[in-house]
A and B are shown apart, each in its own frame.
Chain A
Amino acid sequence: MIKRLKLTKKRLAILVGMPILLSACSDDEVEVIKEVEVIVEVPAPVPEPVDVSYEVTVTNLTNAQPLSPVAVVLHANGHLFSVGEVPSVDLEKLAEGGMNAGLLALGEASATGAGAIAPGASETISVTIEDVTTAKLSVVTMLVNTNDAFSGLDALDLSDFAVGDSWTATAGVYDAGTEVNTEAVGSIPGPADGGEGFNAIRIDTGYVAMHPGVVTVDDGLSDSVLTIQHKFDNPALRIMVTRIE
Chain B
Amino acid sequence: MNKFTKICAASALVFASSQTVAADVSITIQNLTQGMYFTPIAAVAHTPDASLFELGEQASPEIQEMAEGGSLAGLTTIATSIGADVLAEPTAGPLGPTESVSGTFTTADGNSVLSVVAMILPSNDGFIGLDNWSIPTEAGTYTVYLNAYDAGTEANDEIVGGGAPGTPGMPAPPFLTLGTGGSGVTAESSNTNVHIHPGNIGDDDAAGGSSDVTNSIHRWLNPVAKVTVTVN
Report chain A residues within 8 Å CB of B223. Answer: 172, 210, 234
Chain A neighbourhood of B202, CB < 8 A:
215, 220
Number of A-B pairs, beta carbon distance below 8 Å: 72
Is A222 in contact with B221, judged by CB distance below 8 angstroms?
Answer: no
Residue numbers in B under 8 Å from A23 (CB-CB): none
Bound complex: CA A63 to CA B35 (Å)? 24
* Distance (whole angstroms) from the CB of A121 to the closest CB of chain B: 22
**Please, which residue of chain B has its CB at the minimum distance from the CB of A222?**
B204
Q: Which residues of B contact A (CB under 8 A)?
A: 30, 32-35, 97-100, 199, 201-204, 209, 215-224, 226
Picked from A83, A213, A221, A223, the residue with its CB within 8 Å of the CB of B30 is A83
CB B164 to nearest CB in A, in angstroms, measures 28
Top 6 A-B residue pairs of the complex, sorted by shortest distance between their CB atoms: A84-B98, A209-B34, A212-B219, A210-B32, A215-B215, A213-B221
**Interchain CB contact under 8 A, B224 and A210:** yes
Interface residue A77 (Cβ < 8 Å from any Cβ of B): no
| A222–B199 CA distance with the chains assembled, in angstroms | 19
Q: Within 8 Å CB of A220, what residues of B?
A: 201-204, 209, 215
Closest A residue to B219 by CB, please name it.
A212
* A245 proximal to B (CB < 8 A): no
For residue B24, give the distance in angstroms from its CB to the closest CB of chain A.
Answer: 25
Q: Is the CB of A210 within 8 A of B221?
A: yes
Please give me the residue from chain B that is nearest to A85 by CB atom. B98
Residues of B contacting A83 in the complex (Cβ-Cβ under 8 angstroms): 30, 32, 98, 226
Please name the residue on chain B nearest to A147 by beta carbon: B216
Chain A residues whose C-beta falls within 8 Å of the C-beta of B30 in the assembled complex: 83-84
Between A and B, 25 residue pairs with Cβ closer than 8 Å are A84-B30, A84-B99, A175-B34, A177-B34, A182-B216, A183-B216, A205-B34, A209-B97, A210-B33, A210-B221, A210-B223, A210-B224, A211-B34, A212-B33, A212-B216, A212-B218, A212-B221, A215-B216, A219-B201, A220-B201, A220-B202, A220-B204, A220-B209, A233-B221, A234-B223
Interface residue SS majority, chain A: loop
Nearest Cβ on chain B to A138's Cβ, whole angstroms:
17
Number of interface residues of A (CB under 8 A): 26
Q: Is there a chain B Cβ closer than 8 Å to A173's Cβ?
A: yes
Residue of B nearest to A182 (CB): B216
- Known contacts A84-B98, A177-B34; decide if A210 and B220 are in contact (CB<8 Å): yes
Cβ-closest chain A residue relative to B98: A84
Mark A residues whose CB is within 8 Å of B. 83-84, 172-173, 175, 177, 180-183, 205, 207-213, 215, 219-223, 233-234
CA distance A142 to B25 in the complex (A): 37
A212 touches B220 (CB 8 A): yes
- How near does chain A come to B217, taking the closest CB pair, in angstroms? 7
User: Least Cβ distance of B16 to chain A in Å?
Assistant: 27
Determine how close the nearest CB of chain B comes to the CB of A174; give it in whole angstroms: 9
A207: nearest residue on chain B (CB-CB)?
B98
B217 in contact with A212 (CB, 8 Å)? yes
CB contacts (< 8 Å) of B219 on chain A: these are 212-213, 215
Q: If A182-B216, A220-B201 touch, does A211 touch B99 (CB 8 Å cutoff)?
A: no
Q: Determine the residue in chain A with the shortest Cβ distance to B211.
A: A220
Task: State the CA gap A215–B221 with chains docked (Å).
Answer: 12
Query: In the complex, what's the smallest C-beta–C-beta distance from A71 to chain B, in angstroms?
Result: 22
Q: Could you say which residues of chain B place their CB within 8 Å of the CB of A208?
A: 98
Q: Roughly how many angstroms separate A132 CA and B137 CA in the complex, as a whole number? A: 33
Partner of A210, one of B34, B199, B209: B34
Q: How far is the CB of A32 from chain B (nearest CB, A)?
A: 67
Contact (A205, B201) CB under 8 Å given A173-B221, A210-B34: no
CB distance from A181 to the nearest CB of B (A): 5
Chain B minimum-CB-distance residue to A183: B216
Query: Among the listed A205, A210, A221, which residue makes an inter-chain contact with B216, where contact means beta carbons less than 8 Å apart?
Result: A221
Asked if A181 and B216 sit within 8 Å, CB to CB, the answer is yes
Which residues from A are CB-within-8-Å of B199? 213
Quick one: which of B34, B99, B100, B204 has the most chain A CB within 10 A? B34
